[in-house]
Amino acid sequence: MPQSAIAPDNDGGMTVHSFGSGSSGNAFLIVTSDGALLVDCGIQSRALQAHLRALRRPLASLDAVLITHEHVDHVRALPAVARSQAPIVATPGTVRACGLPPTVAWIARSGVGMRIGMFEVTPIAVSHDAADPCAYHISHPAGRLVIATDLGVGDPALHDPIRDADLVILEANHDEAMLRSGPYPARLKRRVLSPVGHLSNRACGELLTAALCGRPAPATIWLAHLSATNNRPDLAVGAVRERLAASDLTPDVAALPRAGCETWRSTGSSFRSRQMPLGLS
């Protein structure tokens, strides 16, 4: 696989940037001193490329772009990605659903790790109403993370990846009471609440609790894909923290903004999270 051409970071750690999280678009950039990965490219192409330019990480320099599934809020900028000739990684069903030719896609199989530069990337099958959706566990000497943004149930297959991660990016899509009493039509409510829909705040907290019990060092947790209609950041964070605290778990928990940037960095054994505006509208 080709080596990354990006300029190295100076501190030898791992930096993760969220460029968007929600039904309007999802994209995460993972950067180390020797490479960079993009997970999903669901924001507008101009915005994605502006974010990358601000960080001096053009699309063509990335080690790979990992796609979780074919829904538009995860692949909106895929044509631009394909034109850049950055390697695209996806499961077989997602490759077919996106209409990707084999010349531009590397096939990722659930449960099978693949080496991309210094990254070890393992897709994890999840339950969502897409052709072949997956989460990703990404490991590098500088840090480890798991990204699971669209899933209808908290599958036990996620327990070990979550327990292993320094940063967990996990869906907390809706407050169940808000969804049930809210403006969505009945058909859409059933879809969101179904086993192939989206994870509620309560279910997110339960999954994290099951995964993190017995973990010696708590992870940093980013709550992702919050509904603008059926959730609020304070509700999501409060519900997840309450469920974790009932099992004496106190990791750092924050809700990702739907737009704008959030940044997390690991340096050795020191982990910190902060907002980092990039001056983009």
Strand 259-267 relative to strand 105-107, pairing: unpaired
- Give strand ranges (E) for the chain: 14-20, 27-32, 35-39, 64-66, 88-90, 105-107, 114-116, 119-125, 134-140, 143-148, 167-171, 220-224, 252-255, 259-267, 270-275
Q: In this predicted model, what pLDDT tens digit does every residue of 6-22 receive, in sequence order?
A: 333 446 799 999 999 99
The reported pLDDT for the residue numbered 218 is: 64
183: Cα separation from own chain's centroid:
27
- Domain ranges, ordered by start, for the chain: 14-259
The reported pLDDT for the residue numbered 104 is: 82
The reported pLDDT for the residue numbered 102 is: 76
Are residues 223 and 257 in contact, defined by beta-carbon separation less than 8 angstroms?
no
Is pLDDT above 90 for 196? yes
Is pLDDT above 70 for 269? no
Are residues 243 and 209 in contact, defined by beta-carbon separation less than 8 angstroms?
yes
Q: What is the mean pLDDT of residues 24-53?
A: 97
**Sole residue written with tokens 């993370």:** 145
The reported pLDDT for the residue numbered 259 is: 87
Q: How far apart are CA 177 and CA 276, in angstroms?
A: 33
Q: How far is CA 84 from CA 27, 65, 152, 252, in A?
A: 17, 11, 33, 36
Supply the DSSP symbol for 8. Answer: P
What is the full DSSP assignment across 25-78?
--EEEEEETTEEEEE---S-HHHHHHHHHHTT--GGG-SEEE----SHHHHTTH
Supply the DSSP symbol for 245. Answer: H
pTM greater than the 0.75 cutoff? yes
- Nearest to residue 105, comparing CAs of 120, 88, 92? 88
Is pLDDT above 70 for 83? yes
- Nearest to residue 87, comparing CAs of 120, 122, 63, 116? 63
Are residues 243 and 221 in contact, defined by beta-carbon separation less than 8 angstroms?
no
The reported pLDDT for the residue numbered 5 is: 34
Q: In this predicted model, what pLDDT tens digit does every residue of 98-155 receive, in sequence order?
A: 999 877 889 999 999 999 999 999 999 999 999 999 999 999 999 999 999 999 999 9
Q: From 3.40.50.620, 3.60.15.10, 3.30.200.20, 3.40.50.300, which CATH number describes the 14-259 domain?
A: 3.60.15.10
Supply the mean pLDDT for the chain. 90
Are residues 155 and 100 in contact, defined by beta-carbon separation less than 8 angstroms?
no
3-class DSSP assignment, residue 204: helix
Measured N-to-C along each axis, helices 201-212 and 233-245 cross at an angle, to the nearest 10 degrees, of 30
The reported pLDDT for the residue numbered 276 is: 31
Q: In this predicted model, what pLDDT tens digit does every residue of 171-190 receive, in sequence order?
A: 999 999 999 999 999 999 99
